[in-house]
Amino acid sequence: MNALLVLLALTLSVSVSLAFPADGPAAVLLCASLSAAVAFAISRRSTHARFLVHVFVAGVIVRAAVGSAIYYSHWQGFFGGDAFTYDYLGTTVLHFWRGEIAQGYYQTMMGIYVARNWGMAYVVALIYALTGPNMLAVQYFNAVVGAATAPVIFLCARQIFQNLRVAKLAALCVAFYPSLVLWSSQGLKDGPIVFLLAAAMLATLKLGERMSAKYFALLVFTLYGLFCFRFYIFYMAVAAIVGSFFVGMRRQTTGGLVRQLVVVLALGLSLTYMGVLRTAGSQVEIYGDLETVQRSRADLARRANSGFAEDIDVSTPSGALSAIPVGMTYLLFAPFPWQIASLRQSITLPEMFLWWASFPLLVLGIWFTIKYRLRQALPILIFTTMLTLAYSIFQGNVGTAYRQRSQILVFYFIFVAVGAVLVKERRENERRRRESSRLAALEALRVERATRAALASPRTRAADARRPARDVLEV
């Protein structure tokens, strides 16, 4: 496996460098450096490091290959036109850092982006500062981040269920599921957001078990990152984390209650110190009312020909509640075969068939989790429920719903893995039961045949015939 992965990586690196002599070498060098750093961090784990490194490297190679194909064919606009927006924003930020743009002009051009969701613009600017304007380098950065999500999900699943099969299957799904590969191989912010969410949940699960400065720092960093990339997800993540700490992810003890209170207070102080809560308050006032949500949803529903339920009005609480069933159906299952109207939508069908077939496993996994692992999985359950309901209300476009589904798919795959392992273990138990029954029946048949053979043998008949005479003589 090691030799195969190295061969594939070298082949891809050489091919990209030859195909894109201007951008390829710098992008490959950035990708190789980041991948080596992440692989080294993974390899320091004493358990299952080999498996996780293999999954991570294979995930990077797959994403880099897809990203290279998109870059070579100029399909950025076809799959995700936001990549051009982030390229422009990152270039503008870099020019401002270098003093090439006046502050007044910069604030005029970038005011709305600096006020909220400025994280991706800064990431692109940092990458361009290292490699020069290079969209392929941004795609490779996202490829590394997207592939690194798989080991994090492995750790989350292992922390909750203590089952190696569940953890491995969840990691494989995250590493190679088509839409997760697609969105994390482009110059979009979906890959970093999903990684930050997974890392935040892992830190929360670890802190729920015991206090750790390392995981507390990771939690603060990831929450701040979410705030910079997509502010409304930050609110849901904080609500899920704080709620899970108050309820408790382990059996309640005095020490556990004190630890949870300390974590919540320290988290609040840290976010306040960084100015997050002050900015968050102003954002809630601007974007937190249902009228704003309705305007955004109506705009999404009118885009292209992939809008749905344009007549639904979510500007009132009753309207928002009425939108949930339709919105959730489209969020979880769209696009449907009868809605296919373009090549971009048709290429999603194989993946959708796979997802629809996996949905019963998702239901089974969630049922098992609620019944037996509710406290341990509480942060993930709260967050995925909140984000699913929010997107069900907010989304009015099939394409956008399909893209943003990736933010909850990584956690859904944990429950899919639980359902799959439950089904597999039931089949194995049933097979062992049948095998035991068959072996027992064969043993009983063997004993019966041996008994019949012994009774039917000449020596046995002769002995039986002589036994009464001996008895008489003895009497």
3-class secondary-structure state, position 185: coil
Share of the chain residues as helix, strand and coil, in percent rounded to the nearest 5: 85, 0, 15
Q: Are 60 and 31 a contacting pair, CB within 8 Å?
A: yes
Is residue 240 predicted with pLDDT exceeding 70?
yes
How confident is the model at residue 179, as a pLDDT?
92
Quote the pLDDT of residue 300. Answer: 67
Contact between 56 and 176 under an 8 Å Cβ cutoff? The reply is no
Average pLDDT over residues 87-115: 81
Residue 292 has pLDDT above 60, yes or no: yes
192 has pLDDT over 50: yes
Mean pLDDT of the chain: 84
353 or 103, greater pLDDT: 353
Q: Kindly report which listed range (94-108, 176-190, 277-291) carries the lowest average pLDDT score.
A: 277-291
The per-residue pLDDT for range 440-450, each reduced to its tens digit, is 888 888 888 88
Q: Which two tokens stand for residue 293?
A: 């949500």
pLDDT at 464: 55
Give the pLDDT confidence score for residue 60 in this predicted structure. Answer: 97
- Residue 304 has what pLDDT? 58
The answer, yes or no, to whether residue 314 has pLDDT greater than 90, is no
The predicted-structure confidence for 153-168, as pLDDT tens digits, reads as follows 999 999 999 999 999 9
For residue 469, the model assigns a pLDDT of 47
CA-closest candidate to residue 413, choices 424, 402, 401, 421: 421
Output the six-digit token pair for 100. Answer: 């090439």
In this prediction, what percent of the chain has a pLDDT beyond 90?
A: 44
Amino acid 287: pLDDT: 55
Does residue 451 have a pLDDT over 70? yes
Lowest pLDDT segment from 151-160, 227-236, 240-249, 386-395: 240-249
Q: Which residues pair with 397 in a beta bridge?
A: 307
Distance CA 127, CA 94 (A): 10
pLDDT of residue 467: 55
Q: How far is it, in rounded angstroms, from Cα 40 to Cα 211?
A: 25
Structure confidence at residue 471 (pLDDT):
44
Indicate the pTM of the whole model: 0.88
Q: What pLDDT is recorded for position 2?
A: 83
Sign of CA dihedral 107, 110, 116, 117: negative
pLDDT digits (tens, 9 = 90+) for 8-35: 999 999 999 999 999 999 999 999 999 9
Tell me the average pLDDT across 306-334.
81
3-state SS assignment for residue 397: strand
Residue 114 binned pLDDT confidence (cut-offs 50, 70, 90): low
Q: Give domain limits for the chain.
A: 2-74+134-426
In this predicted structure, the answer to whether residue 460 has a pLDDT above a threshold of 60 is no
Helix axes 213-229, 190-209, angle to 10 degrees: 150
For residue 459 the two structure tokens come to: 């020596």
Least confident span in 64-73, 118-127, 166-175, 264-273: 264-273
Please report the DSSP string for 301-312 in residue order.
HTSTT-B--TT-
Contact 194, 82 (CB under 8 A): no
Q: Evaluate if residue 127 carries a pLDDT over 90.
A: yes
The pLDDT of residue 285: 53
